[in-house]
Structure 1
Amino acid sequence: MATVRWVTVQEIWCDRVQAPAALLEERVYADDVQTDMTPYQVRARRCSHGKICNMEGYRCRWSFLNPFYDPFGVDD
């Protein structure tokens, strides 16, 4: 059985909400990792303020309203 965990990958300042925001990844860790495999797979990404921004209409990839705009410039 795989282990699923949300992991903070970066903490940034968000000018839109005027507060620190955590950028998170939902990682799936396999039970039996082999040497030629990556230790996890990223299944989803989100921001700790994503729901607030979504409700306020702030459009960015972290609020799931505009997948082409990343105000934090985080590379995939």
Structure 2
Amino acid sequence: MAYEAWVKIKSRYCDRAGCKVSLEAHMVFPASWMPETPPRRVGLRCNHGMICNEKEQTACRWSGTNPAYDPFLE
């Protein structure tokens, strides 16, 4: 049976949050009888996203409020 999990991608300092945040991906891993199937990423989030959403300023794509702005692009 397939299973789902939030997997930490990386940690970064966020200027808008003012602290170190963890960027996470929602992954769906294949069932054991289909090991050749790669895992799929179905979502992204920041562990500080809920706090950023409570502020007056729009946040970023990682918090789900502003898909046009990604402060962590390298």
Unpaired runs of 5+ residues, structure 2, are none
Task: Name the structure 2 match of 1:6.
Answer: 6
> Which of 33, 36, 53 is equivalent to 2:35?
33
Percent of residue pairs identical: 37
Partner SS state of residue 53, structure 1: helix
In terms of fraction of residues, the more helix-rich structure is 1
- Which TM-score applies when normalising by structure 1? 0.84
State the one-letter code of the partner of 1:59: A
Unpaired runs of 5+ residues, structure 1, are none
Matched length: 71
- Which TM-score applies when normalising by structure 2? 0.86
